[in-house]
Amino acid sequence: MPAHVYIDELAHHIGEEVTLKGWLYGRRSSGKIHFLQLRDGTGIVQCVASRADVGEELFARADKLGQETSLILDGVVREDKRSPIGVELHAQRFSVVAEPTQEYPISPKEHGTAFLMDHRHLWLRSRRQVAILRIRSEIIRAIRNYFDGRGFTLMDAPIFTPAACEGTSNLFEVNYFDDKAYLTQSGQLYGEAGAMALGKVYVFGPTFRAEKSKTRRHLTEFWMVEPEVAYLDLDGDMDLAEDFLVEVVGQVLRNRRPELAVLERDLSKLESVQKPFPRIRYEEAIALLQRKGKPAQFGDDFGADEETAISEEFDRPVMIHRYPSQIKAFYMKRDPADPRTALCVDVIAPEGYGEIIGGSQREDDLATLEARIAEHKLPRESFEWYLDLRRYGSVPHAGFGLGIERTVAWLCGLHHVRETIPFPRMLEKITP
Ligand code: 4AD
Ligand code: MG
């Protein structure tokens, strides 16, 4: 038997006979020749089957194979300038591993999103979905590369938590033996403990928010990476977020060109993600919105409309800092120069993809933090351990959280976050 080769390596085997193991993606025939599109997870290749090469019996069988039949196929690799991967295969023989028991539900014709979402477990096999998942994987690799290469320690935070981190409105409550617990909204508070132990850490894991809104940017379960650094202030935090995003986008551009091409992503929009990013104060953002005819005023939080309007003014991510502290989380440090505002930053992606990063310098003063916890009516007992971080060697520190799915949506140019994660969880979606 010829050696098993993956489709993305075929170009190195021109003239050789190889074995492919995969599934039938599509098929057409001229009568004299059958064209089988075979996929194996690394790519799709056209396999040409002629009666002379494969013999009468297989030739007849090839004309009846159903979509997604699993196949092992031997053939000779031929250079082909018209092929998107530069080669095609001249089939010699094949064997069927498993025939579909019924017709594959996702045909090449157009399907509605609801239908595709219900068949997500199969939809993942399509060319576009494979490209998206590869880019997602690359983004995660780039994130890990970034932090691992700069002295950060990966620190896992718990998923079951006793209290809210990002406000109480969207917590998932679960039974915890005779008590209640909540699925984590963010690993940050634990990351802060880690930063005091290890200096520079990043927490990377799933986070949960009971978002009752049906928007194209909200999931109930999403992945977040959260660096946290001791002895860092807001300016340093913004420098870190900027450097990090430039590196991640650069790595995706270097390594995932073919996948970006499948998605027809406009690369020039990603290539312009270079330093420096514009940094504007919240109040400048309000003024910008007002100039654009939006009814914005101090104290408003920005929704999708406002974020899109702001992002239209820039060709790269924009950092908006110093929001009013009343609309932000309890742990953010107030700006000593203007106590109405917090030392925080949101990074808004270009092209209307919305907020991808939220970060801040943390309140490091014990008494002030105690007062914030009371103001926010948070259960003090659950935060005693967090207050300890201010009792024993408190230092200025800062960090941020990047949402993976919104980042995937932005880099892939996807309208909705539901395609950015293998099995999205949303208000009305928990299966498959
Ligand atoms: O701005 P957020 O709520 O910040 C935090 O959770 C901080 N504790 C982070 C930190 O400082 N360590 O969330 C951070 C990011 C958002 O900018 C967004 O990209 C993403 O998480 N995000 C969501 N993504 C998908 N669906 C949702 N429901 C999301 N909520 C937040
Ligand atoms: Mg936020």
Q: What's the 357 CA to ligand 2 centre distance in angstroms?
A: 7
In terms of DSSP H, where are the helices of 149-187?
Answer: none
Question: What is the number of other CB atoms lying within 10 angstroms of the CB of residue 55?
Answer: 14
pLDDT exceeds 90 at position 207: yes
Q: How many percent of the chain have pLDDT more than 70? A: 100
Predicted pLDDT of residue 109: 83
Q: How confident is the model at residue 7 (pLDDT cuts 50, 70, 90)?
A: very high
The pLDDT tens digits for 308-363 are: 999 999 999 999 999 999 999 999 999 999 999 999 999 999 999 999 999 999 99
Average pLDDT over residues 145-167: 95
Ligand 1, atom 27: closest residue by C-alpha? 218
3-state secondary structure 336-384: CCEEEEECEEEEEEHHHCEEEEEEEEECCCHHHHHHHHHHCCCCHHHHH
- Give residue 106 CA to ligand 2 midpoint distance, Å: 37
Examine the pLDDT at 386 and tell me if it is beyond 90. yes
* pLDDT tops 90 at residue 193: yes
Residue nearest atom 31 of ligand 1, based on CA coordinates: 403
Residue 224 Cα: closest atom of ligand 1: 21
Separation CA 22–CA 70 (nearest Å): 6
Are 243 and 221 in contact by the 8 Å Cβ rule? The answer is no
- Dist. CA 5–CA 1, nearest whole Å: 12
Q: Is the pLDDT of residue 373 over 90?
A: yes
The predicted-structure confidence for 299-312, as pLDDT tens digits, reads as follows 999 999 999 999 99
CA distances 237 to 17, 74, 146, 263, Å, are 55, 55, 15, 32
Closest residue CA from atom 6 of ligand 1: 186
pLDDT at 133: 98
Edge-to-edge, what's the strand order for the sheet holding 179-183? 160-161, 179-183, 173-176
Going by CA atoms, what residue is nearest to atom 24 of ligand 1? 403
Query: What is the distance in A from the centroid of ligand 1 to the CA of 213?
Result: 15
What average pLDDT does the structure give for the chain?
97
Query: How confident is the model over 97-109, as a mean pLDDT?
Result: 93
Give residue 320 CA to ligand 2 midpoint distance, Å: 11
Ligand 1 site, CB within 6 A? 165-166, 186, 188, 209, 211, 218-219, 222, 224, 226, 355-360, 399-401, 403, 405-406
Which segment of 94-98, 149-153, 166-170, 264-268 scores lowest on mean pLDDT?
166-170
Taking the centre of ligand 2 as the mean of its atom positions, its distance from the CA of residue 346, in whole angstroms, is 7
Ligand nearest to the CA of 186: 1
CA angle 202, 204, 209 (to 5 degrees): 125
Q: Give the model's confidence band at 242: pLDDT under 50 very low, under 70 low, under 90 confident, else very high.
A: very high
Which tokens in the block code for residue 358? 């939220």
Q: Assess whether pLDDT exceeds 90 at residue 107.
A: no
Banded model confidence at residue 38, pLDDT cuts 50, 70, 90: very high
